Structure 1
Amino acid sequence: MDRITGPDDKSPVADELIEGLYAELRAIARREHFRAGSPQTLQPTALINEAYMKLRSRQGWESQSQFLGCAATAIRHILIDAARARLASKRNAPTYSFTQQLDSLAAAVPEDADVVRLGDALKLLSQFDANLAQVVDCRFFAGMDERETAAVLGVSDRTVRRWWVQARAWIHHEMATA
């Protein structure tokens, strides 16, 4: 994509980008909301607002693709932090009798634990190879396809496919040994 600029040939701030890309960000947030299970996650609007809070102070966005890539990473951090918070609150939560929705509480814990383990694996992956971690952010957390991910990263579709296979294998191994 072409370089995007704001007033006085400066790069736009997050406000302008979020306004222009709100529909796309909302689609990403809705997809993540439904994938993780609606009662356990932030609402899509809250997820966008949290991502905005993380991105608003940054200046110098070179393109919409760069912004969407950073938004995908911000969404990942928000979802993982929310899962960690839910796990922490469950450890300190009052005990419930067996008849008080014990099944639903027990079912929520593994999902949050998996999200936290995924976050830990991605943190290690980003130290090992930042490109592989960015591919996971774009493909898994932002729901981008190969073409969109390639545009964000500035590489070919074929490279994205290769990195995606490598990243999935690496994460699977890390999560299996954790």
Structure 2
Amino acid sequence: MTPTDDQLLATVYQRLRGIAERQLRGERDDHTLQPTALVHEAWLTLRDRLEALSHDPARFFAAAAESMRCILIDHARRHNAKKRGGGADRLPLDLEQISATASYDDLIALDEAIAALAEGNPRSAEVVQLRFYAGLTEEEAAQALGMSPRTIRREWAFARAFLFQRLDLHRSR
């Protein structure tokens, strides 16, 4: 017997909430999404792919993190569409702190930089998804992608350098 969608959600809810809290950590004061709402919105986008994702937990959580990231980016775009302006804050040099101090413009720039990375080096972009958004360790990401931790470190270093270069271009505009 296969579990229902609701049973599956109950099983993975705490981990999904942890991913949501990580992505929302340090968000701006005017941010309206809460972790519970983010989990539920992501769950709705994942429901159609549950069959395929349920066989590989690491891929499932990576897909959930990606879904949450897209929801946050859409939220930021809607917010910016309302404001149309305002100065962009400087991004910190530590990629781990970007989401904690970034403006909506910066989050959109980060999303665009990750998309550009994915075009040229999809493997590095996958590592970013797993390490930055899903919060996986090097070892967990290596296991999820079937790579060695050393390869993950190399891809992570490349991705960080690429993203910093793109974000520097964004800052100089």
Under TM normalisation by the shorter chain, which class is it? 0.7 to 0.9
Match of 2:142 in 1: 150
**Which runs of 5 or more residues in structure 1 are unaligned?**
1-5, 93-104
Distance 1:51 1:164, change over 3 A: same
In the alignment, which of 34, 48, 51 is matched to residue 39 of structure 2? 48
Q: Secondary structure at the match of 2:52?
A: coil
Matched residues in 2 for 1:163 and 1:46: separation?
32
Question: TM-score with structure 2 length normalisation?
Answer: 0.80
Q: Is the 8 A contact 2:65 2:134 kept in 1?
A: yes
Amino acid at match of 2:21: R
Distance in 2 of aligned mates of 1:37 and 1:149: 29
Write the distance in 2 (CA, Å) between the matches of 1:41 and 1:128: 34
RMSD: 2.4
Aligned counterpart, 2:97: none
Aligned to 1:81: 74
Counterpart of 1:137? 129
Which residue in the other structure is 2:58 paired with? 65
User: Which of these two proteins has the greater Rg computed from alpha carbons?
Assistant: 1
Deviates more, 1:42-51 or 1:29-38: 29-38
- Give 1:176's aligned residue: 168
Q: 1:120 to 1:49 in 2, by over 3 A?
A: same
Q: Matched residues in 1 for 2:88 and 2:142: separation?
A: 36
Kept in 1, the 8 Å contact 2:138–2:149? The answer is yes
The aligned amino acid for 1:57 is: D
Measured in 1, the distance between the counterparts of 2:133 and 2:62 equals: 10
Distance 1:89 1:37 in 2: 16
Q: Give the % identical residues.
A: 38
Deviation at 1:32, TM superposition (A): 1.4
Cα separation, 2, equivalents of 1:17 and 1:126:
30
Alignment partner, residue 166 of structure 1: 158
Could you tell me which residue of structure 2 aligns to residue 118 of structure 1? 110
Q: Any idea what SS the aligned residue of 1:56 has?
A: helix
Q: Secondary structure at the match of 2:48?
A: coil
**How many matched pairs?**
157
